[in-house]
Amino acid sequence: MLPETQFEEPLTLLRRKIEELERFPPSSAQKVEIGKLREELDRQTTAAFAGLTRWQRTLVARHAERPYTLDYIGQLIGDWAELHGDRHFGDDPAIVCGLGTFRGRSLVVVGHQKGRTTKERVHRNFGQPRPEGYRKALRAMQLAERFRLPVLSLVDTPGAFPGIEGEERGQAEAIARNLIEMAALRTPIVVVVAGEGGSGGALALGLGDRVLMMEHAVYSVISPEGCAAILWKDQERKAEAAEAMKLTAPDLLALGVIDGIIAEPSGGAHADPRAAIDRVGDAIETAFAELARYDLKELLERRYNKFRRMGVVAGT
């Protein structure tokens, strides 16, 4: 297994070779060569992803070509109407909120948006929300409660914005308020950790009746770099920190923090975004169907008990 990001380099080279060959006029020789390259790509992808370390999974979760909230909305949500502003300070592009339809079901969607181009990343603040972003999300979720619409939350952020203006406008209070309100929101909530679930910035949209994670997503109270910097004053020990933190989907399923894992296409969600989004759509549909079996009182009781059980030490 190659260290750091190098484990994907051979796969990227193979994909580029296939793309280059596909640009030429089709011929029998070309088809044979492409077939061989695809077989080699499948073999190397299976071998590489079978033994990923927790740090390498973190790198996959951060991959710039993974689907983001607007990609999921574009492929899964119809009649999309985006909402802006928190009615207190302003709008925060790092969080996207709105109403739409999903496979015949009206719902409210909230989610982080990182951006891909440099200009968009700056506009979206690299997916790091400010307080007004969380207040905008809460406003959208309260609309969902008022109109009896389920909520879909898509989590993908390195964390809440740590700048002084965020603290001046009440970052901690905004996150805490979302947790309080989501715990008692009188409508079903399905959460999907689609990429990077970092710290309270992720948790502020992460309290739901069903919490699902993409196979190569990560979810933790802090980044591996931040953990290493605090514990050892050395960010270079990030891989060691990631191993100790147990931040991957299988780890969190075993700990009871999440309810299910959504399998990604071979090579990760970034290798085949459309297929990955379809798989997420199927998981969301199943989750909402399961939640529809409960009346509101039972739904809220189950949500309360679900989070109360977390962190209980065996034998206490």
Q: Using alpha carbons only, give the angle 204, 233, 164 rounded to the nearest 5 degrees.
A: 45
Task: Note whether 40 and 78 are same-domain residues.
Answer: no
- Cα(219)–Cα(229) distance, rounded to whole angstroms? 18
Task: Note whether 226 and 283 are same-domain residues.
Answer: yes
Task: Note whether 97 and 228 are same-domain residues.
Answer: yes
pTM score over 0.75: yes
Task: Note whether 82 and 132 are same-domain residues.
Answer: yes
Task: Note whether 70 and 162 are same-domain residues.
Answer: yes
* 141 domain residue, yes or no: yes
Quick one: how far is CA 296 from the chain centroid? 27
* 172 domain residue, yes or no: yes
Task: Note whether 47 and 135 are same-domain residues.
Answer: no
Q: Quick check: 201 and 159 in contact, CB under 8 A?
A: yes
* 304 domain residue, yes or no: yes
Q: Give the structural domain span for 88.
A: 59-308
* 316 domain residue, yes or no: no
* 250 domain residue, yes or no: yes
Task: Note whether 253 and 214 are same-domain residues.
Answer: yes
Q: Please tell me the total count of domains within the chain.
A: 2
Task: Note whether 37 and 104 are same-domain residues.
Answer: no
Task: Note whether 80 and 103 are same-domain residues.
Answer: yes
What pLDDT, on the 0 to 100 scale, is given for residue 3? 46
User: Helix/strand/coil (H, E, C) string of 223-282?
Assistant: CHHHHHHHHHCCHHHHHHHHHHHCCEHHHHHHHCCCCEEECCCCCCHHHCHHHHHHHHHH
* 234 domain residue, yes or no: yes
Q: Phi first, then psi: what are they for 210, rounded to 5°?
A: -130, 125
Q: Using alpha carbons only, give the angle 92, 198, 86 rounded to the nearest 5 degrees.
A: 20
What pLDDT, on the 0 to 100 scale, is given for residue 232? 95
Q: Quick check: 129 and 161 in contact, CB under 8 A?
A: yes
* 16 domain residue, yes or no: yes
Task: Note whether 199 and 135 are same-domain residues.
Answer: yes
* 313 domain residue, yes or no: no
Q: Using alpha carbons only, give the angle 53, 193, 154 rounded to the nearest 5 degrees.
A: 150
- Cα(316)–Cα(314) distance, rounded to whole angstroms? 6
Q: Quick check: 197 and 220 in contact, CB under 8 A?
A: yes
Task: Note whether 107 and 244 are same-domain residues.
Answer: yes
Q: What CATH number is associated with residue 222? A: 3.90.226.10
Task: Note whether 254 and 111 are same-domain residues.
Answer: yes
What pLDDT, on the 0 to 100 scale, is given for residue 315? 60
pLDDT values of the chain reduced to their tens digit, one per residue, 316 residues: 344 557 777 888 888 888 888 888 888 877 888 888 888 888 878 777 888 899 999 999 999 999 999 999 999 999 999 999 999 999 999 999 999 999 999 999 999 999 999 999 999 999 999 999 999 999 999 999 999 999 999 999 999 998 999 999 999 999 999 999 999 999 999 999 999 999 899 999 999 999 999 999 999 999 999 999 999 999 899 999 999 999 999 999 999 999 999 999 988 999 899 999 999 999 999 999 999 999 999 999 999 999 998 877 766 5
